[in-house]
Amino acid sequence: EIVLTQSPGTLSLSPGERATLSCRASQNIDSDYLNWYQQKPGQAPRLLIYGASSRATGIPDRFSGSGSGTDFTLTISRLEPEDFAVYYCQQYDDSLTWTFGQGTKVEIK
């Protein structure tokens, strides 16, 4: 079973700052199957990045994804007030299971 570990657990930043979120897999994964979501309180998750680096429809270009193998990163270049939320990475593997990381909360400093 592949485990995704996200760090840090909480990121305290100010609007306008850069956010760097990490997602580390317990073994190599196919980057085509590494995705990122944003979730705000009381709302369903929203797809941000698919295939490690492709932005989903309507996602601003301040969001970017990168990485391969076991290490993946979600970067928010300049935080807007609406970006303060919880972010999850998610992967799929050949055992026909989907798994999520435990999440990183980006909070206002």
Q: Given the rule CB under 8 A, which residues bind other proteins?
A: 32-33, 35, 37, 39, 43-47, 50-51, 54, 56, 88, 90, 92, 96-103
Least distance to other proteins, CB of residue 14, Å: 25
Least distance to other proteins, CB of residue 19, Å: 18
SS3 62: coil
The residue type at 51: G
Q: Which is nearer to other proteins, 70 or 99 (CB)?
A: 99
Least distance to other proteins, CB of residue 40, Å: 12
Contact 33, 93 (CB under 8 A): yes
Q: Which is nearer to other proteins, 16 or 33 (CB)?
A: 33
The DSSP output letter for 56 is P
Q: Which is nearer to other proteins, 22 or 99 (CB)?
A: 99
Contact 39, 45 (CB under 8 A): yes
Q: Which is nearer to other proteins, 13 or 56 (CB)?
A: 56
Candidates 61, 57, 59, 48; CA nearest to 90 is 48
Cα–Cα dist 45/100, whole Å: 12
